[in-house]
Structure 1
Amino acid sequence: MAVQCKPIPALYTVYILRSTLRHASLYIGSTPNPPRRLSQHNGVVRGGAARTARQSLRPWEMVALVSGFPSMTAALKFEWALTNPHISVHIPSTSRITISTGVKANGQPRRPSKSLASILSNLHLLLRVPSFARWPLKLHFFAPDVHAAWQKWCATVTEHLRPGFQVLTDFGGALPTGTGEAPTVSASGGAEEQPSGQEAQARGIHALPLNYEPMKHYVAKGQELFEFERLGDCVVCRAPMPPGKGLYAVCSNPGCDGVGHLSCWSRHFLAGAEADNVLPVQGQCPKCAGTVDWGDMMKELTLRLRGEKEVKKLLNRRRRQKAQKIPKESKEG
């Protein structure tokens, strides 16, 4: 069977739904498009799930989600583990929070009933187990009470998420056009701050990037460097990088054209880390000294190597937008 090679998706999430009519009714799912999926669960468009189809529970709200999964399969693994924490192999038996007390007819452990507290406690556990702790994941909250419940749980545990893990909050939902309000963003363990500017219009799940548009400048830079063979020497080991002779990654910082061997970037980012850490999370570019997220670097790399169709669509859209402005300006001039 042929293996399909695809770039890291622009967005793939595992989400938590809550009935607005019965808060005790909760549902866990995964999707690359949270707004569309919520519409399906609420019966606005076709799709959804049988468990969310009861009119007595609709409408549902998406109160939290985890983003940054490198593939659909990765998201499905996390979703299954969060739905079945009593038997998930990703959770060591000594660390298990949810325990099954019953047995189904086939002899398998019965899935315990879930509550918001149980889901959040198991979510915290999964985000710090070796299977998922170093993935480029982010946690988003869209309901103040759910975020407060998360903070309450975090205050009771001694184990913490990895340094730099981002917890983002946006309690505004979808605001009318022209409000100019931006979402509230907080880093894990840090104070919340309100971004300035009037550019943000959508709120909540509607503000999530569903495509590669936020990466267009990064992708365009990579395309230009490799198309015109402006690679230079590796920014880490200083050795030459012959075009097409290896895996090369590009610094994500604007204005920096640093390129290096993938293995060199990895070794550089992992310098000083614990011996059992084999997956980089973040590091500093040797050329510009700016911070680089490993997840962003890998997304650009997989787009360049496996996403010809996606790159063409992204950059052609950018060229069309520029072309549309030129005739208009010429006419007005």
Structure 2
Amino acid sequence: MSQNLQYPPRFYCVYLLRSIAKKNSFYIGSTPDPYRRLRQHNGELAVGGADRTKKNGLRPWQMTLVVYGFPSKTSALQFEYAWHYAYQTRHIPVKKRIGTRNSGSSVHIKIANLKLLLSAHAFGRMGLRVAIFQKAIYDIWVVNRYNVAVSESVLLKLDFEENQQKLIEGGNYEQMKAFVKSLEKEEEDYFEISLEKLEENNTRKCCVCHRVVDQFEDVLGFCASKDCHALYHVQCWAEEMTKDVVSEPLSHSVLPLTPVKGKCVKCQKVNWWWPMIKNSMRLHQHFTEIGRPCIEN
């Protein structure tokens, strides 16, 4: 199993820009670094940006919404492309499509199509998250003019900029920097706590199959709850999460069926799949790099 692992990016997102000068102008893009990308769009950095965001009278831009939690750069780029061309993408059934090539510029249509994509078969199982940084965009999300239901697997994070004067001066740079740093800290804490839990676990048995785990050979999963010391073989936990789910296998997946979320067998708290599997892959990489210690005779 470990030979086929493909390590996900630490962070890659799809974003929605809004012109501060012309509030009806928007731009969809993707990036591993929202802070740097926003500076490129606003001309703070000489290299990069997009031609459309360089047009006179549109700068500065604010990053108003971010979709994140993608398992790969490729999946993020596919989502970005589908959002750009929502009027013709295969990920939205023809009967459900909202807007046309000429009418898709409305922010209400953009948000409606975003919700449709979040629930699409290809993206709905990723457990994607949405962060909104502008109250006006959140209001549009809530008004939901086209009555599009949002999948319960989508987590919504709100982080409104209180001092709007900062936006007038050139975009919400510090807000985006703080946002990414907070996510990095979450991942780092999860990783460090998982190492501590493994060190403190005397039996080191999987909570599903009850066999002893080997951190140098197995891919291990840890409950995200700080107070729970449950330990799993990732494959065992995936099978436990999906034992009552009927779905088509994902041919590109490491597992026969990729869960969205599931309860910890020990504490019964819900764990989201992709944060857990990203942590598991990082742990696997860590133990692969340090190698099994030699035992002297």
1:72-107 deviations in Å (ceiling 9; x for gaps): 11111100000011222222223222334xxxxxxx
User: Match of 2:234?
Assistant: 262
Structure possessing the higher radius of gyration over alpha carbons: 1
Matched residue of 1:208: which SS?
helix
Q: Which one-letter code corresponds to 2:275 in the other structure?
A: D
1:205 to 176, 199, 205: 176
User: Match of 1:170?
Assistant: 159
The alpha carbon displacement at 1:162 in A equals: 2.3
Distance 1:22 1:296 in 2: 37
Q: Confirm or deny: 8 A CA contact 1:142 1:171 kept in the other structure.
A: yes
Q: Which one-letter code corresponds to 2:273 in the other structure?
A: W
Distance 2:107 2:159 in 1: 19
Q: Which one-letter code corresponds to 2:206 in the other structure?
A: C
The alpha carbon displacement at 1:130 in A equals: 0.7
1:292 to 267, 271, 291: 271
Mapping of residues 1-150 of structure 1, within 5 Å: 7-46=7-46, 47-100=48-101, 113-150=104-141
Q: Confirm or deny: 8 A CA contact 2:127 2:153 kept in the other structure.
A: no
User: Match of 1:323?
Assistant: none
User: Match of 1:246?
Assistant: 218
Relative to structure 1, the CA distance from residue 175 to residue 228 in structure 2 (aligned partners, 3 Å threshold; closer, same or farther) is farther
1:6-58 deviations in Å (ceiling 9; x for gaps): 63223211111111111222110011221221111111112211111123111
* Stretch of structure 1 that moved more, 262-271 or 42-51: 262-271
The alpha carbon displacement at 1:173 in A equals: 5.5
Equivalent pairs counted in the alignment come to 272
Q: Confirm or deny: 8 A CA contact 1:143 1:171 kept in the other structure.
A: yes
**Structure 2, unaligned stretches of length 5 or more?**
166-172, 250-256, 291-297
**Structure 1, unaligned stretches of length 5 or more?**
101-110, 177-201, 313-333
Relative to structure 1, the CA distance from residue 25 to residue 260 in structure 2 (aligned partners, 3 Å threshold; closer, same or farther) is same
The alpha carbon displacement at 1:290 in A equals: 2.8
Report % sequence identity: 30
User: Match of 1:216?
Assistant: 188
Q: Confirm or deny: 8 A CA contact 1:173 1:204 kept in the other structure.
A: no
Q: Which one-letter code corresponds to 2:154 in the other structure?
A: F
Q: Confirm or deny: 8 A CA contact 1:15 1:64 kept in the other structure.
A: yes
- State the Cα RMSD in Å: 3.2
- Greater RCO (CA < 8 Å, at least 6 residues apart): 2
